[in-house]
């Protein structure tokens, strides 16, 4: 391999693909970035076997070739060469040489044969949506996914395409987030479960909100192409929780409250309740106010927030963090909270456009 390329493009591309490289893996070659020179392009590729990212940049290719370089140091190194014209070459000892100005660096490489091949995806189905829609689906749900490995499927996000809509669902056993967006015309109805970790990387590639994004599906894989970058992620297999069954059929108490007032009160309640891991907040819903009360060894905070209410008075306790996250994720001046007594879950959603919804289980323990 022997090529010339621009330092800035190389640095930007390296920073993008490094996100898919493994760190501290049992198999060190997965900490590498694979470089492939052919057809006037340098292709950078990294994978941890769950997620893979490929990015192509323009290059003057004098000799085709491949190399797998240790990712993190290479990435930091080229970051300091953004103003340089760079020559990359690989010698017979599998050493990558970087020339810039009068200087040069050499990187010992992994054996290319040991590096996993890029999976080829055969399109079996596709979910089409706008960049902005995919962004919303990810941002409004993934914080509700499980973080621990107790039930691996809950570390994924269900994408369900049905009747012209795409619905994203995440839940961790204590709370659930659902968001909905219009689907494009291509592809048939389907359900897939995408690892949240992959979605958080995909999010960073959505630069244009109005562009069409195609989630190309083949059995246990999903691919998205963003111009010169291609992302492939494995899908989680198994049956997702039947989330519809969890949604309550009735509402005894319905509250409408100003989002910013409620959010700031929860922020302060969170500070105090967090202080001694006693992480809950009490809501007293009565007449014209919600009284937010949080207590810990350190002290108490009591805030009275005006609201509009329909139905029965109620006292109920929640994990303050879960309510705060939900309120924060809603883009609306007012939020609606639907409740059914003190031991059933509540539903939180925007007062106007109902394209996302949060369900939160109350805390039953009293103190």
Name the residues that contact its own copies, by CB under 8 A.
70, 73, 76-77, 80, 95-96, 102-108, 264-265, 267-268, 271-272, 275, 297-304
Q: For residues 160 and 303, which CB has a smaller minimum distance to its own copies in the complex?
A: 303
Give the shortest CB-106-to-its own copies separation in angstroms.
Answer: 5
Helix (H, G, I), strand (E, B) or coil at 180: strand
Q: For residues 76 and 208, which CB has a smaller minimum distance to its own copies in the complex?
A: 76
Q: For residues 225 and 291, which CB has a smaller minimum distance to its own copies in the complex?
A: 291
Distance CA 84, CA 5 (A): 9
Helix (H, G, I), strand (E, B) or coil at 113: helix
What's the DSSP call for residue 326?
A: H
Q: For residues 106 and 207, which CB has a smaller minimum distance to its own copies in the complex?
A: 106
Give the shortest CB-281-to-its own copies separation in angstroms.
Answer: 13
Give the shortest CB-294-to-its own copies separation in angstroms.
Answer: 9
Q: For residues 23 and 237, which CB has a smaller minimum distance to its own copies in the complex?
A: 23
Q: For residues 76 and 352, which CB has a smaller minimum distance to its own copies in the complex?
A: 76
198 φ/ψ sector (left φ>0, alpha ψ -120 to 50, else beta): alpha
Give the shortest CB-21-to-its own copies separation in angstroms.
Answer: 15
Q: Are 230 and 45 in contact (CB under 8 A)?
A: no
H or E stretch covering 265:
helix 259-274
Structure tokens at 119: 């999976």
User: What are the phi and psi torsion angles at 37 (to 5°)?
Assistant: -105, 120
Give the shortest CB-100-to-its own copies separation in angstroms.
Answer: 9
Name every residue whose Cβ is closer than 8 Å to that of residue 54 and which is 6 or more positions away in sequence: 17, 43, 44, 45, 118, 229, 230, 231, 232
Give the shortest CB-74-to-its own copies separation in angstroms.
Answer: 9
User: What are the phi and psi torsion angles at 324 (to 5°)?
Assistant: -60, -50
């Amino acid at each position: 391999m022997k090529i010339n390329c621009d330092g800035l493009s190389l640095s930007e591309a390296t920073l993008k693909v490094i996100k898919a490289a493994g760190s501290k893996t049992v198999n060190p070659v997965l900490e590498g970035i694979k470089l492939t020179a052919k057809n006037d392009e340098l292709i950078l590729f990294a994978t941890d076997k769950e997620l893979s990212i490929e990015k192509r940049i323009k290059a003057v290719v004098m000799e085709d070739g491949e190399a797998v370089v240790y990712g993190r140091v290479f990435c930091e190194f080229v970051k300091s060469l953004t103003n340089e014209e760079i020559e990359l070459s690989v010698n017979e000892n599998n050493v990558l040489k970087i020339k810039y100005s009068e200087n040069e660096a050499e990187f010992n490489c992994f054996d290319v044969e040991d590096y996993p091949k890029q999976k080829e995806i055969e399109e079996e189905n596709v979910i089409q949506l706008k960049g902005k829609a995919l962004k919303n689906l990810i941002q409004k749900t993934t914080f509700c996914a499980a973080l621990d490995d107790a039930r691996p499927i809950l570390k994924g996000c269900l994408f369900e395409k049905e009747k012209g809509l795409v619905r994203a669902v995440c839940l961790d056993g204590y709370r659930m987030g659902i968001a909905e967006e219009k689907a494009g015309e291509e592809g048939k109805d389907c359900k897939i479960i995408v690892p949240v970790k992959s979605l958080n990387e995909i999010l960073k590639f959505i630069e244009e909100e109005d562009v069409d994004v195609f989630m190309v599906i083949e059995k246990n894989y999903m691919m998205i192409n963003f111009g010169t970058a291609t992302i492939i992620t494995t899908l989680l297999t198994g049956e997702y929780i039947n989330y519809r069954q969890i949604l309550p059929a009735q509402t005894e108490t319905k509250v409408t409250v100003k989002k910013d007032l409620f959010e700031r009160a929860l922020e302060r309640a969170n500070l105090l309740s967090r202080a001694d891991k006693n992480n809950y907040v009490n809501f007293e819903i009565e007449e014209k106010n919600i009284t937010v009360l949080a207590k810990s060894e350190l002290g108490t905070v009591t805030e009275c927030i005006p609201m509009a209410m329909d139905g029965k008075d109620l006292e109920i306790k929640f994990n303050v963090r879960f309510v705060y996250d939900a309120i924060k994720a809603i883009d609306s001046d007012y939020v609606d909270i639907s409740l059914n007594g003190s031991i059933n879950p509540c539903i939180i959603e925007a007062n106007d456009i109902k394209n996302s919804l949060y369900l939160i289980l109350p805390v039953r323990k009293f103190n």
